[in-house]
Structure 1
């Protein structure tokens, strides 16, 4: 048996391929082990992303050192003058930041794309990285 199973959504022109756990004995981690390993990698990493609260909640990561976060959702330099999602209070969407700063439209009619989101968050970070890192050094000098 193949270690891949075909799975296609209705209307997709090309089938999507997903790994089958049965075909990968010893290579597939259970959820708890995957979370533990991911958290070990993240312990000393600077993490760049957008609204990382949701990602960290899934990883049960409530202790990440704020000095190591570069969350575009909560960066005043990027968010000045932008409203939260659908005009509500809170951080602006990644789509709004992308439109404002990169002059790019992300997602379009398609669903969320994690690779595109990661790329967009990194591009936003790089626009203001010197200012952001200066702020981090000033605010967190006693921790660094």
Structure 2
């Protein structure tokens, strides 16, 4: 008969009990590991299942892409459209059209400005500035501040301006904003839509040769057949996007004006350069 070894001070019964307990723990440990492996594999399968379909997955011909979209999803429908040589129905957002995503976000040689105004006076017929927004040539916002009213507000014009009493309460002093804006504009090309109104409300001047007004640019007027086109009309006709669909946003309006400018920048600047060239008889 084979003798069983025990640790000093340990009885034979204790040794057997400890060995049984060790075996049980080892067995349970292996079981937990296996369960963990199963969960991991299941998660991997789920992740693979969530991947959008590839072109090889979409093989059925003669099926309406809209039916594919309803049954499988938009990714599959886009693949089907490509295979059929159809145009994609996905349309870029307004922001994607107006703002260059991975671009410089600081001040540039050209900036666009837009102001939101609110009403003062008995009927709210007079205007004061409530918000000033400036974007760079890539549409990135470089300045956006609310202005503390200098007079009693009688009409916030919220349905158009988007301004509410709580906005102006957190506004900064007009004089401070006026100085900050003047510093930004100094020496730069100023883009805007009817931008003379924005300068006027801020009591600022800017060299005429450095102003690019999208409302006054003749080629734009000709393209949309309007002597005084709105920013909304220009964006809809020339950029194929809709802006100012409800309350206005001075950031978006500035972005829209800048995008219109960059659309024609090369021709616009060339025309100005040609116009400012001295005539031959002037050089003699």
In structure 2, the partner of 1:95 is 232
In structure 2, the partner of 1:118 is 254
Runs of 4 or more, structure 1, over 4 Å off, are 17-21
Is contact 1:45–1:68 with CA below 8 Å preserved after alignment? Answer: yes
Give the Cα separation in 1 of the matches to 2:176 and 2:252. Answer: 27
In structure 2, the partner of 1:25 is none
Is contact 1:47–1:68 with CA below 8 Å preserved after alignment? Answer: yes
Is contact 1:73–1:93 with CA below 8 Å preserved after alignment? Answer: yes
In structure 2, the partner of 1:43 is 186
TM-score, L = length of structure 2? 0.36
Give the Cα separation in 2 of the matches to 1:98 and 1:112. Answer: 14
Is contact 1:35–1:59 with CA below 8 Å preserved after alignment? Answer: yes
1:31 and 2:174 aligned = yes
Report the number of matched residues.
Answer: 114
Long gaps (5+) in structure 2:
1-157, 159-165, 279-284
Give the Cα separation in 1 of the matches to 2:262 and 2:253. Answer: 14
- Post-superposition offset of 1:83: 2.4
Structure whose alpha-carbon radius of gyration is higher:
2
Is contact 1:39–1:59 with CA below 8 Å preserved after alignment? Answer: no
Moved more, 99-108 or 28-37: 28-37
In structure 1, the partner of 2:199 is 56
- Post-superposition offset of 1:141: 4.5
TM-score, L = length of structure 1? 0.68
- Post-superposition offset of 1:126: 1.4
In structure 2, the partner of 1:76 is 218
Q: Which deviations, in whole Å up to 9, do the C-alpha atoms of 1:3-44 show, x marking residues without a partner?
A: xxxxxx9xxxxxxx85965xxxxxx85212321231132121
Over the residues paired in the alignment, what is the CA RMSD in angstroms? 2.5
Give the Cα separation in 2 of the matches to 1:36 and 1:68. Answer: 19
Long gaps (5+) in structure 1:
1-8, 10-16, 22-27, 85-90
Give the Cα separation in 2 of the matches to 1:105 and 1:72. Answer: 16
Matched residue SS, 2:215: helix
